[in-house]
Amino acid sequence: MTTRPPPSIHARSQEVATSGAAASTYSLLASILSNPVAPEDVRAAATNALRVSECPEGYPAAPGQSALEAYRVDMALVNVGALLAERVTGRISTEVDPALDSDPAALVARGKALVALYKRSGVAADRLLVRLPATWAGCQAMRELEREGIATHALFVYSFAQAAAAAQAGASAVQVSLGRVRSWYNLRPNVIRDPHGPREDSGYKSPTDPGLALVKEVFYFLKRYHPKTKLIVSGIASRADALAVAGADYVLLPAAVRQELASTPTLSGYNDGLHEADGAASAALDAAAARGVDFREEQLAELDEATFNDLLARGVCGKELLAEGLGRHEQFAAQLSPLIAEMVINRHG
């Protein structure tokens, strides 16, 4: 079967000119506000929102944050997201405040508030994804938002339990980072890579790539049991990685890998790098093959909070990387505070 990249394969959000979708996040806002040479229209979209002086009464905020502060950040996210929506044909994935990762009701309220702000800016709900962390609280928020017709995007998924919980909640998309999982294991050579394979405690080194193994496991699980939920693969480091996950619903490709793919010659004249030398490459991930993939009984059980937390703790990798991911995004949120304060001072100066 000849395989070309699905139309949904795209670069990261910063390269919106050629991508099919984009993301408006705390890290993007921090980058825009701290970069004096950021595109003028994008910078204006963020700064104008951060200078507003009033907000709707009762606007949902994180602990220790005023309603006005929360509203300013969400308005900045939406202003930037609305600008991106004019430049891409796909959805705009927008981040809910990471400080709310353990409060499902607050995550729901903030997600709904973002969608309402987008509607006011002329961006319909069917162009949006609400980005939520794959904590237990995050998955419960996904369930409620999806019930109300708001599409959700599960982030920081580093274990099968997280992917299963998000899918059971009805999330529209689950994002798995191949690269972060692989790196975690590479930095810990004594950790068992495949707990269901041959014993690794007697000198045997498993050839399993845990990151790729997780991507495949989640892909087949979703296709067989939760076909509504789409798989997004990130953490792609090379052409080989891109080929290994060809067939996934969405693949986030950094610029270097896109260039590598584009510059790879083939005997058949293709130059997109996603063909083998004879011009015909089979998709590494095939939805039809999901029917033949067996899953353990514990993987198919409906999860509750205690079981989810137990599986996450036993996996170690997922628990540690989830904490790191939340920590990174809280740092981005913290970076915004002085930048917002500067915007406000300049407005009144």
Average pLDDT over residues 15-23: 62
Predicted confidence at residue 105, as pLDDT, reads 97
Q: Which two tokens stand for residue 244?
A: 């290994």
Answer yes or no: is pLDDT of 212 > 70.
yes
Predicted confidence at residue 3, as pLDDT, reads 32
d(CA 137, CA 154): 12
pLDDT band for 280, please (50, 70, 90 cuts): very low
Q: Please answer whether residues 158 and 324 qualify as being in contact, where contact means their C-beta atoms are separated by less than 8 angstroms.
A: no
* Choice between 346 and 236, residue whose per-residue pLDDT is larger: 236
* Choice between 348 and 56, residue whose per-residue pLDDT is larger: 56
Predicted confidence at residue 216, as pLDDT, reads 97
Decide if 1 is inside a domain: no
Predicted confidence at residue 16, as pLDDT, reads 36
* Choice between 310 and 266, residue whose per-residue pLDDT is larger: 310
Q: Please answer whether residues 94 and 150 qualify as being in contact, where contact means their C-beta atoms are separated by less than 8 angstroms.
A: no
CB proximity list for 146: less than 8 A, separation 6 or greater? 152, 169, 170, 171, 172
Answer yes or no: is pLDDT of 61 > 90.
yes
Predicted confidence at residue 202, as pLDDT, reads 57
Average pLDDT over residues 159-183: 98
Answer yes or no: is pLDDT of 183 > 50.
yes
Closest to 168 (Cα-Cα) out of 285, 307, 284, 323: 307
Q: Tokens 């409906």 belong to which residue?
A: 302
Average pLDDT over residues 69-89: 95
Decide if 206 is inside a domain: yes
Predicted confidence at residue 339, as pLDDT, reads 77
Answer yes or no: is pLDDT of 223 > 80.
yes
Residue 20 exposed, middle or buried by CB count within 10 Å (0-12, 13-18, 19+): middle
State the CATH number of the domain containing residue 123: 3.20.20.70
Decide if 131 is inside a domain: yes
Answer yes or no: is pLDDT of 199 > 80.
no
Average pLDDT over residues 225-241: 96
Answer yes or no: is pLDDT of 270 > 80.
no
Predicted confidence at residue 194, as pLDDT, reads 73
**SS3 call for 128:** strand
Looking at 2-6, 22-26, 298-302, 305-309, which range is the least confident one?
2-6
Average pLDDT over residues 6-30: 61
Answer yes or no: is pLDDT of 13 > 50.
no
Decide if 317 is inside a domain: yes
In tens, the pLDDT along 284-321 reads 899 999 999 999 999 999 999 999 999 999 989 999 99
Predicted confidence at residue 265, as pLDDT, reads 66
Decide if 52 is inside a domain: yes
Q: Which domain holds residue 215?
A: 10-348
**SS3 call for 166:** helix
Q: Which two tokens stand for residue 126?
A: 């069917």
d(CA 88, CA 79): 15
Number of domains composing the chain: 1
Average pLDDT over residues 51-67: 92
Decide if 54 is inside a domain: yes
Q: Which two tokens stand for residue 20?
A: 């099919």
* Choice between 4 and 329, residue whose per-residue pLDDT is larger: 329
Predicted confidence at residue 277, as pLDDT, reads 45
| DSSP state string for 201-258 | SSS------HHHHHHHHHHHHHHHH-TTSEEEEE---SHHHHHHTTTSSEEEE-HHHH
Q: Which two tokens stand for residue 177?
A: 């980072």
Decide if 2 is inside a domain: no
SS (H, E, C) 104-115: HHHHHHHHHHHH
pTM over 0.85: yes
Average pLDDT over residues 102-125: 97
Decide if 151 is inside a domain: yes
Helix axes 210-225, 160-168, angle to 10 degrees: 20
**SS3 call for 11:** strand
d(CA 342, CA 348): 10
Predicted confidence at residue 110, as pLDDT, reads 98
pLDDT band for 197, please (50, 70, 90 cuts): low
Average pLDDT over residues 262-268: 64
Predicted confidence at residue 341, as pLDDT, reads 73
d(CA 258, CA 130): 26
